[in-house]
């Protein structure tokens, strides 16, 4: 979730993160951000401090009071120590001063998203499949495999939940933003592409289709 009232900056961030395979929902006011985060289990919340309605500090406090555990990354034009301290004390997990490099924002978001995992490494392994989320690379038994941003995001989701049944709705919610209108058939198209690429690279088909429910990642050794 991105809460940013500067619409040009919000569009730029959404585009930059989207090109790296992240699904980003955007709202422009603090109160809208609170409502969105309370209704959807986002992996990370990125928000400006200066927002119309409820400001970023208020949003952060209210989310923490409502037991929202999603990591919060604050964006601000102020770089004084006192400003950063106030943000952290309000419940934020990290802080970035504008202007910032998109690469650093992406790296911090990914680091925050890994905080709840028992293994925080950026390299995920399942059988012969090795996904490096920091380098944005995929290898099967040391053979590089090229993926599109969406294919990478889908595989990343499965690699974080090996053996778990993931429904088509869950995949859509995680990989696409809330303007997605492609339907479940598009998920099947991407799953088909992933299966072909992994099989061609020598991993076999690591996905089990549960008819009428979704898919499980069960890689072959």
- In what order do the strands lie in the sheet containing 207-210? 165-167, 214-217, 207-210
pTM of the model: 0.67
Summarize pLDDT for 37-92 with one digit per residue, the tens. 999 888 899 999 999 999 999 999 999 999 998 999 999 887 777 878 888 889 99
Tokens of 176: 């696409």
| HSE-CB of 163 using CA atoms within 13 angstroms | 3
Mean local confidence (pLDDT), 97-105: 90
Summarize pLDDT for 120-178 with one digit per residue, the tens. 567 888 889 999 987 889 999 989 999 998 899 899 889 888 889 999 888 888 887 66
Summarize pLDDT for 164-194 with one digit per residue, the tens. 999 988 888 888 766 666 666 888 999 999 9
């Amino acid at each position: 979730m991105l809460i940013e009232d500067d619409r040009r900056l919000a569009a730029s961030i959404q585009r930059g993160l989207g090109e790296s395979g992240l699904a980003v929902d955007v709202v422009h006011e603090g109160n809208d951000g609170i409502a969105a985060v309370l209704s959807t289990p986002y992996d990370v919340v990125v928000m400006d401090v200066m927002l119309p309605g409820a400001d970023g500090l208020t949003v952060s406090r209210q989310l923490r009071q409502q037991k929202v555990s999603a990591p919060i990354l604050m964006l601000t034009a102020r770089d004084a120590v006192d400003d950063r301290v106030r943000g952290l004390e309000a419940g934020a997990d990290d802080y970035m001063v504008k202007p910032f490099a998109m690469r650093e924002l992406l790296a911090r978001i990914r680091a925050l998203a890994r905080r709840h995992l028992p293994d925080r490494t950026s390299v995920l392994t399942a059988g012969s499949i090795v996904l490096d989320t920091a380098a944005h690379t995929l290898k099967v038994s040391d053979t590089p495999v090229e993926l599109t941003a969406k294919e990478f995001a889908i595989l990343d989701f499965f690699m974080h939940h090996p053996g778990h049944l993931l429904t088509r709705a869950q995949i859509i919610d995680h990989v696409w933003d809330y303007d997605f209108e492609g339907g479940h058939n598009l998920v099947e198209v991407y799953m088909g592409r992933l299966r072909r690429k992994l099989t061609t690279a020598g991993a076999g088909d690591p996905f089990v289709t549960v008819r009428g429910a979704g898919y499980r990642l069960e890689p072959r050794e």
